[in-house]
Amino acid sequence: MDEEEILLSQQRHHRRQNNSSSTNKPHSNSFPSAIAPTSVHDLLECPVCTNSMYPPIHQCHNGHTLCSTCKVKVHNRCPTCRQELGDIRCLALEKVAESLELPCKYFSLGCPEIFPYYSKLKHEALCNFRPYNCPYAGSECSVTGDIPYLVSHLRDDHKVDMHTGYTFNHRYVKSNPREVENATWMLTVFHCYGQYFCLHFEAFQLGTAPVYMAFVRFMGDEAEARNYSYSLEVGGINRKLIWEGTPRSIRDSHRKVRDSHDGLIIQRNVALFFSGGDRKELKLRVTGKIWKEQQNPDSAPVCIPNLCL
């Protein structure tokens, strides 16, 4: 962030403060009616990044404050008066912050919780109402949102196949299976029981052994995911490999699921055996289904890999 950008941000901050002080209208679109923004809360807003400030809160000799992250960005110069910041902390403002109670920043998404100022940040990192990250696994994607938005995003922007139903049947073909490079695919998003699920397929090295892995993720929180189970099956030549388990929430990244080996793992030599023929081409058919559990959702998930001959 250069000096001109910082000064413009500071000017916008002052205009916002002036506007809020010149009107008596309630900010009903920003905070619950029981907790309106206060001048103290405004003081705790960093004038550079506009985020809430947490200790250490820095100030210049003239009393202008900013957060520790932005102190580095402005090269130790106050963005308001251009004086050198030094290492002065605004201990009074840090102390005042301890007395504040504020709503979770996701209250507009449904979170009703109110927290002491210094506890709020920890809650927000794990809040059940926080937006979900895009679950697409083919490339890095920074998009976040609720489930309906992400479903549309996957369909329209990532061109992921959409499927309705609780069973699936996919065929994976690779012409040169001797080369297993790290790769990941989201084969489809399917809709059943009023929920959305993602089917993933990965190729990677497990130690020195090249393997393939398939698994399902639930588009929702972990507590809801435990209400469902799924099975995956791959096979050929009158043999099959079966996996049963509980879908992981998309709160867990596809990399985290892969590294925990929580899915159907197929070694390359087994995959080539299932492919038949001269083993020069990989042909894997992955089938499966999802069902809703009737028993207590808190019961332990069943994850049983089984080789049936």
Give the SS3 label for residue 83.
Answer: coil
What average pLDDT does this structure show over 270-284?
77
Instruction: Residue 78: give the domain boundaries.
Output: 3-99
Q: Are residues 74 and 165 in the same domain?
A: no
pLDDT of residue 277: 65
Please tell me the predicted confidence (pLDDT) of residue 306: 40
* Helices assigned H by DSSP within the chain: 3-21, 39-43, 68-73, 91-97, 117-126, 147-156, 222-225, 254-259, 268-275
Domain boundary at 99, 123, 158, which? 99
% the chain with pLDDT above 70: 79
**110 is a domain residue:** no
Mean pLDDT throughout 234-251? Answer: 90
Do 171 and 50 share a structural domain? no
In a domain, 108, yes or no: no
| 159 and 67 together in one domain | no
End position of a domain, from candidates 55, 83, 99: 99
Answer yes or no: do 193 and 249 share one domain: yes
- Is 125 inside a domain boundary? no
Residues 8 and 145 grouped into a single domain: no
pLDDT band at 9 (very low <50, low <70, confident <90, very high): very low
**pTM recorded for the entire structure:** 0.69
**What would the mean pLDDT of 269-278 be, rounded to a whole number?**
79
Residues 53 and 169 in one domain: no
Q: In the predicted model, is pLDDT for residue 275 greater than 50?
A: yes
Predicted confidence band at 178 (pLDDT cuts at 50, 70, 90)? low
Percent of the chain with pLDDT over 90: 36
pLDDT at 221 over 70: yes
According to DSSP, the residues that pair with 171 across neighbouring strands are 285
The mean of the pLDDT values for the chain is 80
Cis peptide before 56 (omega within 30 of 0): yes
Domain of 36, CATH number, reads: 3.30.40.10
In the listed set 99, 122, 154, which residue is the last one of a domain according to the structure?
99
Structural domains of the chain, count: 2
Residue 208: which pLDDT band, with cuts at 50, 70 and 90?
confident
CB atoms near residue 47 (< 10 Å): 23
Q: What is the mean pLDDT of residues 189-205?
A: 92
Reported as a single tens digit per residue, the pLDDT across 112-150 is 999 888 888 889 988 989 999 999 976 778 999 999 999
